[in-house]
């Protein structure tokens, strides 16, 4: 945190230097953002996982810039101290560097994000460099890249053989050299994730990448026990909100059907 109590990219670097863990979650709306601020979370990612957990798509591919702008604005309205990072969705930074810069700029200027995240390692490094030079802080993302699902056909763990580990290390270093302020490691085997973390000055934030990363991120629906069709192995539920919500819906339905709600105390 800086002197105003706000988390910045410098806060995250300091946490790494001091060996303090960085605590990160996704959010997609105003209400959740307010609670994450209250809970003292460091970084809120408005992830394109939005597509699956909020919009009901099968994967992140259909998520648009308009979706990201809309949800980032809501998160920003609920935020006062966390670092808010918005995802650059599928194809938003592949058509040209010019378009990528414009899209990153929109997430910052129009929606109020403090930084953007984009998927890709060495192949994304020159674009990251241009964004950073333009004043846009970038969170890198390597390992499993959900936006590659159509190309890859499956979500697979990375870093399980030497060639893959070497590639990941090169990706991570390229992003660091390009000026990324941190890098997400998604579904990287725990030992190589630790090696990457040790070899970088910038922090790593792991998801499904073991305990040796500098920080952790979870999709908030997984943490709250709100599952759709997929329940990833790495996701630990800290609550069973699905059960709590179903009980609430059931109680409401029963009381309305039985004429018990609204009672006199809820009537004018």
Q: Site residues (CB under 6 A) for ligand KIV? A: 26, 45, 47-49, 87, 184, 186, 207, 217, 219
Distance CA 54, CA 28 (A): 8
CB of 109 vs ligand KIV, minimal distance in Å? 21
Which residue number is nearest to ligand KIV in terms of Cβ? 47
Helix, strand, coil % in the chain, rounded to nearest 5: 45, 15, 40
Distance CA 251, CA 248 (A): 5
CB of 121 vs ligand KIV, minimal distance in Å? 14
CB of 146 vs ligand KIV, minimal distance in Å? 6
Of the pair 133, 231, the CB lying nearest ligand KIV is at 231
Task: Say whether 156 sits in a helix, a strand or coil.
Answer: coil
CB of 49 vs ligand KIV, minimal distance in Å? 3
Catalytic residues: 186
Of the pair 42, 186, the CB lying nearest ligand KIV is at 186
Of the pair 111, 207, the CB lying nearest ligand KIV is at 207
Distance CA 97, CA 166 (A): 27
Of the pair 169, 184, the CB lying nearest ligand KIV is at 184
Instruction: Please spell the DSSP secondary structure of 91-152, one letter per residue.
Output: TTTTS-HHHHHHHHHHHHHTT--SEEE--BSGGGHHHHHHHHHTT--EEEEEES-GGGHHHH
């Amino acid at each position: 945190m800086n002197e105003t109590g706000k988390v910045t990219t410098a806060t995250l670097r300091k946490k790494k230097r001091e060996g303090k863990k960085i605590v990160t979650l996704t959010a997609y709306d105003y209400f959740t953002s307010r609670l994450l601020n209250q809970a003292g979370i460091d970084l809120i990612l408005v992830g394109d996982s939005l597509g699956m957990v909020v919009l009901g798509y099968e994967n992140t591919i259909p998520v648009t810039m308009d979706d990201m702008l809309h949800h980032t604005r809501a998160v920003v309205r609920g935020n006062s101290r966390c670092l808010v990072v918005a995802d650059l969705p599928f194809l938003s930074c592949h058509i040209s560097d010019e378009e990528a810069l414009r899209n990153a700029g929109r997430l910052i200027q129009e929606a109020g994000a403090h930084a953007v995240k984009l998927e890709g390692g060495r192949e994304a490094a020159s674009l990251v460099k241009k964004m950073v030079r333009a004043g846009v802080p970038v969170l890198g993302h390597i390992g499993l890249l959900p936006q590659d699902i159509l190309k890859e056909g499956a979500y697979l763990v990375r870093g399980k053989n030497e060639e893959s580990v070497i590639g990941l290390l090169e990706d991570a270093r390229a992003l660091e050299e390009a000026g990324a302020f941190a890098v997400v490691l998604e579904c990287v085997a725990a030992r190589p994730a630790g090696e990457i973390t040790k070899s970088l000055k910038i922090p790593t934030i792991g998801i499904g990448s073991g305990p040796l990363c500098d920080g952790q991120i979870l999709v908030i629906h997984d943490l709250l026990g709100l599952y759709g069709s997929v329940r990833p192995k790495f996701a630990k539920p800290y609550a069973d909100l699905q059960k709590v919500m179903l009980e609430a819906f059931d109680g409401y339905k029963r009381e309305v059907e039985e004429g018990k709600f609204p009672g006199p105390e809820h009537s004018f």
